[in-house]
Structure 1
Amino acid sequence: MKKIIASILAIVGMGTPSLAEEAQDSKEYITQELRMMALNLSPNSIGLSEKNFPHQVWGVLMETGTDNGAYSLIVIADGTTSLYFSNGGGIIGAGEHASVRDVSANFIGWANRYVSQSMPVSSYPLPKSGDTVFYFLTFTGVKSYTAKEIELGEERDQLSSLFHAGHAVIAEARKASEK
């Protein structure tokens, strides 16, 4: 109960520094839990199978490290699209908007083109500042690919098209959340 009250007070800009710190810790915990839920998601639990979704990649996390943490774009083939910030907050449920679903489907399409460039992984650290990590959720496990954000953004990496498709999803999710 104390953490809930601390969170509410911190959101409205009130409370003691220790309560604000607890609220921030709580936000970070929640976003980390949501991120890990996506990374450990079973496609069968959301009704996806190789039979009804005949593509290798059924979900993608694109995470970019910043000086203040990281942001995580999560797109799942069932239409789920969310954006989380490691220090708390984000946009949940953006996939409810048709415009977001369209660019999200395109993002997964690009991921299926590039999954062969990735390697299997079993741990999921947040990226270092300046790095972008793609986690490909496949029917055979999670794979990843890491590159410098600047290289991706300036079209100097083989996965630049995927990076730009991910940023199109972020832009559309932000527009939809402002409506």
Structure 2
Amino acid sequence: MLGSRVPLRSDNCALLFHRLREGVLTLDPAVEGMRRPIDGTVVWGALMESGMTEGTATVVSLADGTTSLYTSAGGGLVGGGAHRVVVAATRHFLSVVGAHLDTFGEDSERAPVPESGRVTFRALTYVGRRYLDLSEKDLCEPGHAFSALYQAGHEVVARLRLVNARD
């Protein structure tokens, strides 16, 4: 079982979405048991946020395997970390984020959600938060410099949906 499909359909969908998102953005990895590994890994979490006309979808991937999808319009999937196929996709996504980290800028304290048609990647690192904001249309172009990042994030979503469909 995936954990749970979260029916966030209510007048408070956007508020709940922002609370969940803020909770992830302000996590202390050490408190959560994600101590910095000796192998030099810097990224302990990542978000892929897609701006759409009807709101925002946020994929959360953490080094401990925690994997979730939240939407501001209502709905989401949590508990993906209980499934090996999801954890494998999450770890790959974190690795790809780490490989592109030098192209990310320093994130603001506010960390706004992306505008419609934009995708924002957020890297949660042991030395602070970083971000990269790109056009979704551009990311879909073959050979785009960041298409691997986009594909890795979408693989997490695909795996979440796969295990949810089986449950």
Structure showing the higher helix proportion among its residues: 1
The aligned residue for residue 122 of structure 2 is 135
More contact order relative to length (CA 8 Å, sep ≥ 6): 2
Correspondence 1:105 to 2:94? no
> 1:153 touches 1:164 (CA, 8 Å); kept in 2?
no
Query: Residues 103 and 168 of structure 1 are in contact (CA less than 8 Å); yes or no, is this contact kept in structure 2?
Result: yes
Provide the rounded CA distance (Å) in 1 between the counterparts of 2:150 and 2:121: 9
Partner of 2:48: 62
Q: Which residue of 1 aligns with 2:149?
A: 162
Q: Distance in 1 between matches of 2:129 and 2:144?
A: 21
- Write the mapping of 1:117-132 to structure 2, written as runs, cut at 5 A: 117-121=103-107, 122-132=109-119
User: Alignment partner of 1:144: what SS?
Assistant: strand
Task: Give, in whole Å, the separation in 1 of the partners of 2:53 and 2:39.
Answer: 37
Task: Name the SS for the 2:115 alignment partner.
Answer: coil
Q: Does 1:44 align with 2:30?
A: yes
Could you list the runs of 5+ residues in structure 2 that have no partner in the other structure? 1-6
Secondary structure at the counterpart of residue 31 of structure 2: helix
Distance in structure 2 (CA, Å) of the matches to 1:31 and 1:75: 16
The structural deviation recorded for 1:61 is 0.5
Find out whether 1:30 has 2:16 as its counterpart: yes
RMSD over equivalenced CA pairs, Å: 1.7
Aligned residue number for residue 84 of structure 1: 70
Q: CA offset at residue 97 of structure 1?
A: 0.7
State the shift of 1:52 in Å.
Answer: 5.5
- Identify the residue that residue 133 of structure 2 maps to in structure 1: 146
Counterparts of 2:115 and 2:92 in 1: how far apart (Å)? 27
For structure 1, list consecutive stretches of 5 or more residues without a partner in the other structure. Answer: 1-7, 12-22
Distance 2:22 2:31 in 1: 15
Work out the CA distance in 1 between the residues paired with 2:85 and 2:151: 16
Question: Aligned pair count?
Answer: 159
SS at match of 2:68: strand
Share of identical aligned residues, percent? 31
Return the TM-score normalized by structure 1: 0.84
**CA distance in structure 2 between the aligned counterparts of 1:147 and 1:128, rounded to whole angstroms:** 10
